[in-house]
Chain A
Amino acid sequence: MKERVIIAKKQPRVLNPIQFNVLAIILILGLLPFAVALVSNAGSSSNERYETTMPTTPGLIGEYLNDTYWIDNGGDNYTQYYIDQGVTGDQNLDCAYVEDGFCKGYNSTIPPRRSYELAYYGFQYWLPTVSTEMQQSHWDVSPAPYGVGYSGASGDDVFSWHLESKFFEEIDQQKSIDGLRFWMVDEDTVSCNNYAGFTNITFEGRITFNFDNQTRTFENYEFEKTTRFEYSDFDYTHGGFVQSCAIGFIVEFEFSNFEVLSIDQFNGGDWDNTSISLYLENFEREDGLNFADTALPFAGDGFYYLGIEHKSINPQEVGFFVKTGTLILSVIVLGVGLASTPYWDPFRNFFKGGMIE
């Protein structure tokens, strides 16, 4: 009996010039971005849990802030409105409009008040995080005995604050941060069911770290928020917690691993001497109506609550993984570059049979 032996012949894998170009496009548009995303997130040890950034020691209640102030209070000058209402007093009128850290509303250019009046810091219990009470945009000009009440609007251009280093005492020294968020809630509660002032808004944000007379800014943050802020409040009359509403929102800044390293290079984790300038600008209503007198938590003639939280991260760990990952990626890209030349043909060898000319 004859035995038949069949020898399977291996078919050569073939790539033509078009397929080699497709391979190049896949490398650039597909593999490279995914590899970069992997490297970018490598070593991210943050557990996504926010911790309070502000002091929690009860003994600090009553200690005054002395380097926290409005940089810009809305972008619109309402000085004339308050003059027309009979407000007098140069300093009060002057601070109806604050621009670049200076009161410019009336007849002089003086720094806005940086005294005890701006805020206490330490515990406040009204929000589900540590917060402090801050003056609203027109606090200086509108309350009695000088004022006649809030104008109803402060502007839609830019609201910005300089927040001194006392706000950031709870960030561990020698650590960096990959997230920072600001709770901003009006001190007055409103009806959750009947208040008509809630609306959806969009705005942009940027944040500047100040350290050793130098600055580092991270920008192009975009926010979509509702001004409806709900939280559990204790009802002292009837006992127990009830749902409360106020004008407010939380503004959250996330930092990539590169930005984490950048912050660490900038201040070396010295948070006791780092202040932050926060800018919120270009406000618009999502319903397309004129922004005009849209209620904002920090615009008014009273107070609002400011809470700050952070996510800390170990910059050494991030640096190790990111730099190692970048090195590996660099070697791979360099290898692909060399393999794309006629002098080294790993692609051609892999796709045995080579090109169809």
Chain B
Amino acid sequence: MIEIILYITTLLISLFVVGSASDAGFLNSGLTRAFGGLSTQFVSASWLYQYTNLETFLYGCINGQVGIVGYFFIASLSLLIVVWINNLFEYRQAIV
């Protein structure tokens, strides 16, 4: 569950970066876009996993250690991710 949330989040970030770079005239070939996207996802996932305690926090929320507000946080974060994914496909940007 945690892995899925973080994987989707970092995938989203890499899509933001690749899409934005493409709009700005960079990463024109499919190969460079793929490399840029993978690199961004690797770096952002490493950051979230190894240098922050976001994973521990999410585990705590899902395992019920924070009570009902933990589930509320997971629901809020999931909603945010769903909205941004939708925006990315509809408008090519996260926040509209």
Which A residues are closer than 8 A to B by beta carbons? 17-18, 20-25, 28-29, 32-33, 36-37, 39-40, 256, 258-259, 261-262, 265, 319, 322-323, 326-327, 329-331, 333-334, 336-342, 347
Chain B residues, CB < 8 A from A319: 67
Cα of A77 to Cα of B95 in the assembled complex, Å: 62
Within 8 Å of chain A (Cβ to Cβ): is B20?
yes
Contact B66 A258 (CB under 8 A): yes
Whole-angstrom distance between the alpha carbons of A36 and B70 in the complex?
A: 12
B73 CB contacts on chain A under 8 angstroms:
326, 329-330, 333
Determine the distance from Cα of A39 to Cα of B72 in the docked complex, in whole angstroms.
15
Assess whether B54 is in contact with A261, with CB atoms less than 8 Å apart: no
Indicate if B56 sits at the interface (CB-CB under 8 A): yes
Establish whether residues A23 and B95, one from each chain, have CB atoms under 8 Å apart when the complex forms: yes
Given contacts A20-B95, A36-B53, A323-B66, contact A337 B83 (CB under 8 A): yes
- In the assembly, what is the distance between CA of A150 and CA of B48, in Å? 47
How many A-B contacts at CB < 8 Å in the complex?
Answer: 120
Considering only CB atoms and an 8 Å cut-off, how many residues of chain B contact the other chain? 44
The contact sample of 29 A-B pairs, CB cut-off 8 A, is A17-B93, A18-B20, A18-B23, A20-B94, A21-B16, A21-B20, A21-B93, A21-B94, A22-B20, A23-B95, A24-B84, A24-B95, A25-B16, A28-B9, A28-B13, A33-B48, A33-B53, A36-B52, A256-B56, A258-B65, A258-B66, A262-B63, A326-B69, A327-B72, A330-B73, A337-B83, A340-B94, A341-B87, A342-B96
Interchain CA distance A319-B67 in the complex, whole Å: 9
| Nearest CB of B to A230, in Å | 33
**Bound-complex Cα distance A129 to B11 (A):** 50
Q: How far is the CA of A339 from the CA of B79 in the complex (A)?
A: 12
When C-beta atoms are compared, the residue in chain A nearest to B78 turns out to be A337
CA distance A18 to B69 in the complex (A): 33
Which of A21, A29, A262, A337 is B44 in contact with, Cβ under 8 Å?
A29
In the bound complex, CA of A21 to CA of B18 (Å): 11
Specify which chain B residues have a CB less than 8 angstroms from the CB of A322 in the assembled complex.
66
Say how far B19's CB is from chain A's closest CB, in angstroms. Answer: 7
Interchain CB contact under 8 A, B65 and A333: no
A23 cross-chain contacts in B, Cβ below 8 A: 94-95
Given known contacts A33-B53, A258-B66, what 9 new A-B pairs fall within 8 Å (CB)? A23-B94, A32-B54, A37-B53, A40-B57, A256-B60, A322-B66, A329-B73, A340-B84, A342-B96
- On whether the beta carbons of A33 and B60 are closer than 8 Å, the reply is no
Are B47 and A29 closer than 8 Å at their CB atoms?
yes
**Which B residues lie within 8 Å of A341 (CB)?**
83, 87, 96
CA distance A258 to B59 in the complex (A): 9
Tell which of A17, A40, A327 has the most Cβ of chain B within 10 Å: A17
Contact call B69/A340, Cβ cutoff below 8 A: no
Encoded as 1 (CB less than 8 Å from any A CB) or 0, chain B from 75 to 96 comes to: 1110110011001000111111
A265 and B96: CB pair below 8 A? no
Q: Are B53 and A40 in contact (CB under 8 A)?
A: yes
Chain B nearest Cβ from A315, distance in angstroms: 11
Given the complex, which residues of A lie within 8 Å of B87, measured CB to CB? 340-341
| Cβ contacts under 8 Å, B44 to chain A | 29
Closest residue of chain B to A23 (Cβ to Cβ) is B95
B76 to chain A, nearest CB (A): 4
CB-CB < 8 A to B83: which residues of A?
337-338, 340-341
Residues of B with C-beta under 8 A to A22: 16, 20
Residue of B12, B66, B77 contacting most chain A CB atoms (<10 Å): B66
| Contact with B66, one of A37, A261, A331 (Cβ below 8 angstroms) | A261
CB interface residues, B 8-32, toward A, < 8 Å: 9, 12-13, 16-17, 19-20, 23-24
Q: Which residue of A lies closest to B91 (CB)?
A: A17
Q: How far, in whole Å, are A342 and B94 apart by their CA atoms in the complex? A: 11
**Taking the nearest CB of chain B, how far is it from the CB of A192, in angstroms?**
37
